[in-house]
Amino acid sequence: MKGTLKPLILALTLAGLAPSVALAESQSASAAEVKEQSKTHVVMLGTGTPTLQHKRAGQAILVVVDKEMYLFDAGPGFVRNFKALAGQDFMPPDVMFTNESVYGAMDKVFITHLDSDHVLGLPELLLRPWILGRDQPMKVIGPKGTQKLVDNSLAAFKDDIDHRLYGTQPANANGYKGEVTEISETQIVHQDDKVTVKAFRVPHGSWDEGMSFGYRVETPTKTIVISGDTRMDEANYEHFKGADILIHEVMHEGAIAAMPEDWQQYMYHAHTSTRQLAEIAKAVKPGLLVMNHPLFFGKTDEDMVAELAQHYDGKSVLASDLDIYE
């Protein structure tokens, strides 16, 4: 039967009886071809927390699919790390003053929530790539309050914007603007020929429902899930399952145990310990577990890795700035 299947399909097609079969076979071949040619890279542009760490910029995760960039969060200081990616063959060209450059192509960001350590870099993201070449508004997707954040950021820098627009410096009139989409539900928030991005609600401290999100990014070759800041919640599992790369926040359990009781209660209401993260990973089975946004409270990188390893023996890493996963 196997050897006669294609002639049979051909005969049925010629008879006008099996166009859908032929179309399905064609579409399948096309999808396989796209997957073969497509490349996905994940760059940890910033892995920090509210605490000051000179080796960790604020939260920013870059997914690059065939040189198209998708940024998640805009913490303080991350923009400088773009320069460290100069020369990487998966990135847009590192030149200034063109919309095809890495600066001009950086045109969309997805915000998990409005904690300052995740958005203090947003004004820089709006303004610096504009100065260096972006001539279209930045697309900003995030929870309720994102529009006000963008408007107030631009108001704060009005004198700088006016100086560049109306002075002697060449400037375009659109690249500094933010085109905001506010979300409140679990939903697909972006879709193009390279990715589908789905936002899903996560519980984080006292933020209201619909004010804190994770993101699931599906590309032709990878599924990447970004937890955002969240406590352990089995409701997240449906969004985590099937992830080739699960990027999840983490806190050192031993360090939290040494805190005053009120701080312990807060931390577990907002964040996820190493032991809890191990339970999550065992349940959803990611290809790679990436510990992100690490809350050390006096512990070291080695301590965090060792504590997770006590509870989880799957493939895992502790993220550092400019780590690249593919």
Return the percentage of the chain with pLDDT > 70, whole number: 89
275 CB-near residues (< 8 Å, 6+ apart) = 253, 307, 311
Beta carbons of 244 and 286 less than 8 angstroms apart: yes
CA distances from 281 to 121, 224, 311 (A): 30, 14, 10
* Residue pLDDT, tens place only, 183-223: 999 999 999 999 999 999 999 999 998 999 999 999 999 99
* Residue pLDDT, tens place only, 294-308: 999 999 999 999 999
Position 322 confidence tier, pLDDT thresholds 50, 70, 90: very high
Q: What is the pLDDT of residue 104?
A: 87
* Residue pLDDT, tens place only, 21-68: 444 454 544 555 556 689 999 999 999 999 988 899 999 999 999 999
Q: In this structure, how many other beta carbons lie within 10 angstroms of the beta carbon of residue 294?
A: 25
* Closest alpha carbon to 192 in 66, 44, 93: 66
* Closest alpha carbon to 122 in 101, 149, 155, 92: 149
C-alpha 142/C-alpha 71 separation (Å) is: 12
Phi and psi dihedrals of 184, rounded to 5? -140, -5
pTM above 0.85, yes or no: yes
Exposed e or buried b per residue across 176-208, where buried means at least 16 C-beta atoms within 10 angstroms of its C-beta: bbbebeebeebeebbeeebbebbbbbbbbbebe
Domains and CATH numbers, the chain: 39-319 (3.60.15.10)
Rounded to 5°, angle at Cα 75 from 38 and 92:
30
